[in-house]
Structure 1
Amino acid sequence: MTPTIGRAARTGQEAMPNPAREDAGTASPPTQRVVQVLELLSRHATERLSLARIVREAGLSRATAHAVLTQLTADGWTARDAEGCYGIGLRLLTVARRAEAAFPLRRTAITHLRALSEHTGTPVFLAERDGDSIVVTEVVGDPSAGWIRPGRRLPLAPPVCREFIAWTSEPERQEWLSTADPAHRDRLTHVLAEIRARGYSVERLADDSTPVLEALAALRDSPVTSALRTQLSSAITELITIDYLPDELGPENAVVTVAAPIRDTDGAVIASVVTCPDTRLSTTELSNLGTATVAAAQRITEGDPGD
């Protein structure tokens, strides 16, 4: 969905501060403001952002943003250039590098992600489980889907993230399925079994359907009548075709992503390797891509440091 662009954004004027956005639901609003600024700058790590842009995108008042940035810059967390624009500072970079030691999976995975991307000619990313969410933590190449970027968080909810659920216990699978749209549950049950059999999931939703799907889902989840919610759910069901079952594969198959699981020492799925062809593949090409993705995930599971 395309974000609504307000008058201030269109004209280059600063947006009015939103006190509710600054303070709502936070135990420590001053800390939250610092985090907002650092998160914004980290999303644009190779750029320098003007104070006006930071004010607008972080939803802070000019005075607040200036005060936060002045202190962060004085302490080395951010840097200010000659034009008065801001970026991340060396102190933040140092802390980030130290923090990498807490995430050994990413260090092990990155070599294999690069090799897989080079071998298949497709972008690749690593998705890690974080409680009830999945977080994109490493991206190699330039995926065509705009949502694929480091830090992007997705709910572990039907019908996506199936490779994280396929190998769980039967009670866990049933609990996950119980939260799915009733129209999808039978298909999802068969799809999970197929994913276990072949070793990977396939996302086949065409990119041009995504904006429509997101709009319908937002309407369905808003305060509407039961009759309208049922109609919206029906429309969503018609747009989504979940994965491929064996008898559905043809000469050409739309494939957005292929994902294979990474397991911990207990066998639980903690992450996945995801290749992103976003094109049409023959059955053989899809099988080969799936095999390569599974092999990379297996090497990461085994802790192979790669070359």
Structure 2
Amino acid sequence: MTPTIGSAERAGQEADSAQESGAPSPPTLRVVKVLELLSRHAGERLSLARIVREAGLSRATAHAVLAQLTAEGWAVRDAEGNYGIGLRLLTVARRAEAAFPLRHLASAHLRALSDEVGVPVFLAERAGENIVVTEVIGHPSASWIRPGRRLPLAPPVCREFIAWAPDSARAAWLATADPAHRDRLTRVLAEIRTRGYSVERLVDDSTPMLEVLAGLRDSPITAALRAQLGSVITELITIDYLPDELGPDNAVVTLAAPVRDHHGTVIAAVVACPDNHLSAHALAALGAKTVATADRITAASH
């Protein structure tokens, strides 16, 4: 049936509404799965059977996606029928890297920090109202920490990006937080400014549950469900450490220090990922080294 002008307009409005509400697009997700799989094995050629298995697609769907990607130059197919990334994907990847020049400048500093402290490290850069993971050194235990992962600049996370912001920006950020946590967040932001870094910790043994919930929140779901998941995640998080809460054994998942531009605005964060129990002394030592690395990256970028 051919839609009338009115029905076509309504269909477009419904599509826009679905997109705004976070409704998933299964065909897009299938293409993304295949591209991510090929990019993770950039030096290899993958069989159709392996792509079907690892991407979780039917053989017919995987074949259709790969045929289109190959026709457009996003993938290549060799004489044995195996697939790899195409030049068009490489071209787009290079263009994307140009949007995050700090990644290249920071890479050697991040590696030096990781080698010194013996834990994984990553760089998170601000992109509008989001934070993007752009460089990862080592293998963080949290599965969400990978290049390209985008997180909203929303309470209670990303505090190191907000702690040094103008009063109006901090107030706006705090206004979006759970009202029950605003007083604590206000004190935490002040403490971060004093010591120079944020600390992420978890209540008891909730790490596995938190990772599952975070993965669901970052998947294509409705805005309402995402908000509900965010509330559950918030309940599992004890927001940072205040000075009188530090003891002989402190559960530390990540520790993040700010990188600033020449105006002093926080544009990125160096994040160390011990995911371990540290003494107060060890925590302070890791914090000092992470801050020093972030400061070196700041200086090198000016």
User: Partners in 2 of 1:163 and 1:195 — Cα distance?
Assistant: 7
Aligned residues: 270
The corresponding residue for 1:291 is: 288
User: Partners in 2 of 1:99 and 1:280 — Cα distance?
Assistant: 37
Deviation, 1:46, is 5.0
The corresponding residue for 2:146 is: 149
Q: 1:273 aligns with which of 263, 270, 273?
A: 270
Q: Confirm or deny: 8 A CA contact 1:40 1:58 kept in the other structure.
A: no
Secondary structure of the residue aligned to 1:175 is helix
Q: Confirm or deny: 8 A CA contact 2:259 2:270 kept in the other structure.
A: yes
The corresponding residue for 1:204 is: 201
Question: Is 1:264 matched with 2:261?
Answer: yes
User: Partners in 1 of 2:268 and 2:259 — Cα distance?
Assistant: 5
Deviation, 1:89, is 3.1
Q: Confirm or deny: 8 A CA contact 2:247 2:279 kept in the other structure.
A: yes
**RMSD of aligned Cα (Å):** 3.6
User: Partners in 2 of 1:304 and 1:265 — Cα distance?
Assistant: 8
- Give TM-score scaled by structure 1 length: 0.75
After superposition, the Cα gap between the structure-2 partners of 1:42 and 1:297, relative to the gap in structure 1 and judged at 3 Å, is same
Q: 1:136 aligns with which of 111, 120, 133?
A: 133
Q: Confirm or deny: 8 A CA contact 1:184 1:237 kept in the other structure.
A: no
The corresponding residue for 1:191 is: 188
Mark the runs of 5 or more structure 2 residues left unpaired by the alignment: 1-14
Q: 1:120 aligns with which of 87, 104, 117?
A: 117
Deviation, 1:209, is 1.1
Deviation, 1:239, is 2.7
After superposition, the Cα gap between the structure-2 partners of 1:223 and 1:114, relative to the gap in structure 1 and judged at 3 Å, is closer
After superposition, the Cα gap between the structure-2 partners of 1:114 and 1:85, relative to the gap in structure 1 and judged at 3 Å, is same
After superposition, the Cα gap between the structure-2 partners of 1:101 and 1:239, relative to the gap in structure 1 and judged at 3 Å, is closer
Question: Is 1:61 matched with 2:58?
Answer: no
Question: Is 1:177 matched with 2:174?
Answer: yes
Q: Confirm or deny: 8 A CA contact 2:156 2:234 kept in the other structure.
A: no
Deviation, 1:63, is 5.7
Give a deviation string over 1:189-226, Cα, whole Å, max 9, x none.
000000000000000126941444465997994499xx
The corresponding residue for 2:156 is: 159
Q: Confirm or deny: 8 A CA contact 1:128 1:271 kept in the other structure.
A: yes
Give a deviation string over 1:214-261, Cα, whole Å, max 9, x none.
65997994499xxxx7xx95x766532110000000011110111000
- The residue identity in structure 2 corresponding to 1:299 is R
User: Partners in 2 of 1:287 and 1:197 — Cα distance?
Assistant: 13
Secondary structure of the residue aligned to 1:204 is strand
User: Partners in 1 of 2:226 and 2:237 — Cα distance?
Assistant: 23
Q: 2:42 aligns with which of 42, 45, 49?
A: 45
- The residue identity in structure 2 corresponding to 1:64 is A
Q: Confirm or deny: 8 A CA contact 2:100 2:134 kept in the other structure.
A: no
- The residue identity in structure 2 corresponding to 1:70 is T
User: Partners in 1 of 2:148 and 2:57 — Cα distance?
Assistant: 17
- The residue identity in structure 2 corresponding to 1:268 is T
Secondary structure of the residue aligned to 1:185 is helix
Q: Confirm or deny: 8 A CA contact 2:70 2:77 kept in the other structure.
A: no
- Structural mapping, 1:240-251, within 5 Å: 240-251=237-248
Mark the runs of 5 or more structure 1 residues left unpaired by the alignment: 1-20
- The residue identity in structure 2 corresponding to 1:152 is R
- Give TM-score scaled by structure 2 length: 0.76
What percentage of aligned pairs have identical amino acids? Answer: 65
Deviation, 1:106, is 1.0
Runs of 4+ in 1 over 6 A off after TM superposition: 216-220
Deviation, 1:50, is 3.9
